[in-house]
A and B are shown apart, each in its own frame.
Chain A
Amino acid sequence: MTTRIEPDGSRPAIRFDRVGQVFSGSDGGSVTALEDVSFTLRRHEFVAVIGPSGCGKSTLLRIIAGLVKPTGGQAEIYGLPVTGPREEVGIVFQQPTLLPWLNVRDNVTFPMKHKHGRVTPAEKQRAGELLAMVGLEDFATRRPNELSGGMQQRVGIARALLHDPDILLMDEPFSALDALTRDEMSFELLRIWTERPKTVLFITHSIPEALLLADRILVMSARPGRVREIIDVGLARPRSMETLSEPRFHEIANHIRAQVFRPAALA
């Protein structure tokens, strides 16, 4: 594990530099998941990545998380190339991925236990604070299977925030939730992000979700995954239910929809 580097405002938090990813299949063929993807995230910027299924958006996240090595180009965090998982990154997965044999608090502190073999009292206390922040302080000693899907994903978010990462990677974190819980979680995430600003890379396939949350939206095309357009959302913050009815919201939503469904040949 690389040592944690001091966040530097002058450097982009995340930079993809002509990143490409080719997966070779077991039948000898190969699939180009990403091709020539370049873009940067400023520190504490919220960027959503949207695109059809199979556009390689999850691969993009795995590359910056250090879980997958790109076959072309490179990914950087604060100017340093990513070679493996990094301290300053927290990840929220598509599924809550909680460990059923641990209670909620131990799930939140699991990263420390797993990395360092022990959990300090300070980290335990911080886990309590994070659980309070996501509204689950009364559930600290419950098992994950006693919680609803939304509550489980809140625990997943608290876990990702435990070591106070500067960068938060979220891989369709609300896609397994029902529509109502989804909206609620979006506002919850906005509140958390306002309280503790972070650089967020948020993968989603929901246009309203991307619009509600992000400063900029990266629209991707499918097979191979390429950057089709980067959109400045420009909706005023703080955002609320009213944001959803603003004319600009619908204007951009329609624009993205047209982009996503535009055939690749015309791009």
Chain B
Amino acid sequence: MKSPTISAPRSSGRRRWPDMGRALLKVLDRGAPLFASLLLLLIWELACRLFQVPAYLLPTPSAIVQGALAVALESWLGHIWATLRVSLQGYALAVAIGIPLAVALANSRLLSRTLYPQLVIIQSTPIVAVAPIIVVVLGAGDAPRVAITFLITFFPIVVSTVTGLLATPPAMLELSRSLGASRLREVKNIQLPFAVPYIFSALRISVTLAIIGAVVAEFVAAEDGLGFFIAFSTSFFKVPQAFAALGVLVTLSLALFQLVSLTQRLLFPWSLPDAEK
């Protein structure tokens, strides 16, 4: 921009407009995802009104908001807490079992040959189909719901952690062995830290799966929770209310996903890809 022949401004009045234009473009660029979402809601609202879609088929966004407000806050909080409680318990259990199991699988050929096929079978079983059976076996209460959530969340954690552990560069393992350190220290000081980016990518996916697991469990057997609330609302054709619960679930899922990302950012900043630093 230093070349005088090209960019010498002729008058100050002309210069201000492009600047403002650029600022406006920047705002539009920053807010693009938000604007797109708002635009979509607007189209939804207008289309429903224009074609007079009945509320029990597809409610307008405004009807959904009204439906949400019609339900008491304590009722919302109760359902949210029920879903969150089950999701987080199942997720915590999956992390607590999945990561040590992954360490065992990555370090033992025998274990990986005997246990891994079983894990694949479990993963290949549609959990939604197994859910009623689990409810019969484990009875009422949180236990079957936590079990279903656990089954949905733990496989990605195990697979991704094993992948990370086995991806440890041979040179790092040679460094460890040249120091004559124990196998346990090798896992703790080299393999696990190396697997951290892999573990976190699984933790991010699994936390959203945990919400799915809890909702599936609530469909099958529950007297509270957002999944139960959706099933209950639709059975009474309170579709706007069901959509509102869906919106809450999406928000919950996004919040947990961001929370896991934030945890990685705070505790393991070195493990982020360069683009995210």
For the complex formed, measure the closest distance between the CB of B53 and the CB atoms of chain A, giving whole angstroms.
Answer: 54
Q: Name B27-53 residues within 8 Å CB distance of A.
A: none
Interchain residue pairs with CB less than 8 A apart (27): A66-B178, A67-B174, A67-B177, A85-B180, A89-B178, A91-B175, A93-B171, A93-B174, A93-B175, A95-B171, A99-B172, A99-B193, A100-B270, A101-B194, A101-B271, A110-B189, A111-B179, A113-B189, A114-B181, A114-B185, A114-B189, A114-B190, A115-B179, A115-B180, A115-B181, A117-B185, A143-B270
- Total interface residues on B, CB under 8 Å, equals 20
Q: Name A114-151 residues within 8 Å CB distance of B.
A: 114-115, 117, 143, 145
For the complex formed, measure the closest distance between the CB of A62 and the CB atoms of chain B, giving whole angstroms.
Answer: 8
Say if the beta carbon of A75 comes within 8 Å of chain B: no
- Among candidates A67, A97, A143, residue contacting B172 with C-beta atoms closer than 8 Å: A97
Complex Cα spacing A264 to B78, Å: 82
For the complex formed, measure the closest distance between the CB of A88 and the CB atoms of chain B, giving whole angstroms.
Answer: 12
Complex Cα spacing A65 to B185, Å: 20
Contacts of B174 in A (CB 8 A): 67, 93, 97
A163 closest partner in B (C-beta): B179
Contacts of A234 in B (CB 8 A): none
Complex Cα spacing A101 to B171, Å: 16
For the complex formed, measure the closest distance between the CB of A231 and the CB atoms of chain B, giving whole angstroms.
Answer: 29
Contacts of A1 in B (CB 8 A): 180
Say if the beta carbon of B81 comes within 8 Å of chain A: no
For the complex formed, measure the closest distance between the CB of B194 and the CB atoms of chain A, giving whole angstroms.
Answer: 8
Closest 5 CB pairs of A and B: A85-B180, A1-B180, A97-B171, A101-B193, A114-B181
For the complex formed, measure the closest distance between the CB of B184 and the CB atoms of chain A, giving whole angstroms.
Answer: 10
Q: Is the CB of A91 within 8 A of B169?
A: no
Complex Cα spacing A143 to B179, Å: 22
Say if the beta carbon of A84 comes within 8 Å of chain B: yes
Say if the beta carbon of B107 comes within 8 Å of chain A: no
Tally the A-B contacts, defined by beta carbons under 8 Å. 49
Contacts of B172 in A (CB 8 A): 97, 99
Q: Is the CB of B179 within 8 A of A101?
A: no
Say if the beta carbon of B123 comes within 8 Å of chain A: no
For the complex formed, measure the closest distance between the CB of A67 and the CB atoms of chain B, giving whole angstroms.
Answer: 6
Q: Is the CB of B180 within 8 A of A101?
A: no
Say if the beta carbon of B237 comes within 8 Å of chain A: no
Q: Is the CB of B193 within 8 A of A91?
A: no
Main secondary structure on chain B at its contact with chain A? helix
Complex Cα spacing A113 to B270, Å: 20
Say if the beta carbon of B163 comes within 8 Å of chain A: no
Q: Is the CB of B270 within 8 A of A84?
A: no
- Among candidates B175, B181, B268, B270, residue contacting A97 with C-beta atoms closer than 8 Å: B175
Say if the beta carbon of B196 comes within 8 Å of chain A: yes
Complex Cα spacing A85 to B181, Å: 10
For the complex formed, measure the closest distance between the CB of B250 and the CB atoms of chain A, giving whole angstroms.
Answer: 34
For the complex formed, measure the closest distance between the CB of A84 and the CB atoms of chain B, giving whole angstroms.
Answer: 6
A112 closest partner in B (C-beta): B179
Contacts of B189 in A (CB 8 A): 110, 113-114
Say if the beta carbon of B201 comes within 8 Å of chain A: no
For the complex formed, measure the closest distance between the CB of B170 and the CB atoms of chain A, giving whole angstroms.
Answer: 10
Complex Cα spacing A113 to B182, Å: 12
Q: Is the CB of B268 within 8 A of A101?
A: yes
Contacts of A99 in B (CB 8 A): 172, 190, 193
- Among candidates B177, B194, B271, residue contacting A85 with C-beta atoms closer than 8 Å: B177
A1 closest partner in B (C-beta): B180
Contacts of A94 in B (CB 8 A): 171
Complex Cα spacing A115 to B179, Å: 6
Contacts of A65 in B (CB 8 A): 178
Complex Cα spacing A99 to B175, Å: 10
| Interface bits B154-191 vs A (CB < 8 Å: 1, else 0) | 00000000000000010110111111110001000110
Complex Cα spacing A117 to B181, Å: 9
Contacts of B180 in A (CB 8 A): 1, 84-85, 115
